Amino acid sequence: MYNEKQLKLFNSRGINPTYEIKRRIRLVLSTSNLSRDQIADRMNDLSAKEGLPGQKITKDKIDGWCKDSDPSRLPSLVDLVLFCTVTENNSPLAALADPIGCELVGPEEKKVLTWGKAELNKRRAMKKARLALEEIE
């Protein structure tokens, strides 16, 4: 009989995000209003504006990121951030977090998390105050 940890191990998709990053980049490119050349140009402009080091991004480089046949051709982390910023889609970056059970949150989700934390703190404080009052009485 298997324990819970063993079942999770056997049902796991693995931690290698390579193919999922490539798949999500392809999906973003297929739905973007920008051409690959435009995306490359905007990434280079943003990189220069931010003073980021790195190689010049080209359409060919972006094409390479999409090929499953060459898993070694992936964007650097900086290039991935530039790509997500220019395309306004964080899906490829989220592919890095998924295998370790994490999730990226956007501005709206962040507001909900902030509210939730404040609500929990408020409830804890109310419980603490109620218990203190009970001790007094």
**pLDDT (tens place) for every residue of the chain, 137 residues total:** 445 455 455 555 688 899 999 999 999 999 999 999 999 999 999 999 999 876 799 999 999 999 988 888 999 999 999 999 999 999 999 999 998 888 888 889 999 999 999 999 999 999 999 999 989 98
Task: Quote the pLDDT of residue 1.
Answer: 45
Are residue 36 and residue 74 in the same domain, yes or no? yes
How many domains does one find in the chain?
2
First to last CA, the chain: 54
- pTM of the shown model: 0.75
Task: Quote the pLDDT of residue 2.
Answer: 44
Q: Which two tokens stand for residue 45?
A: 């402009």
Residues 30, 35, 39, CA angle at the centre, nearest 5°?
A: 105
Task: Quote the pLDDT of residue 94.
Answer: 93
Are residue 30 and residue 52 in the same domain, yes or no? yes
Are residue 36 and residue 52 in the same domain, yes or no? yes
Are residue 91 and residue 110 in the same domain, yes or no? no
Residues 66 and 135: their CA atoms lie apart, in Å, by 65
Are residue 76 and residue 116 in the same domain, yes or no? no
Task: Quote the pLDDT of residue 9.
Answer: 53
Are residue 67 and residue 124 in the same domain, yes or no? no
Are residue 29 and residue 71 in the same domain, yes or no? yes
The boundaries of the domain holding residue 122 are 105-137
Q: Which two tokens stand for residue 123?
A: 């409830």
Are residue 117 and residue 54 in the same domain, yes or no? no
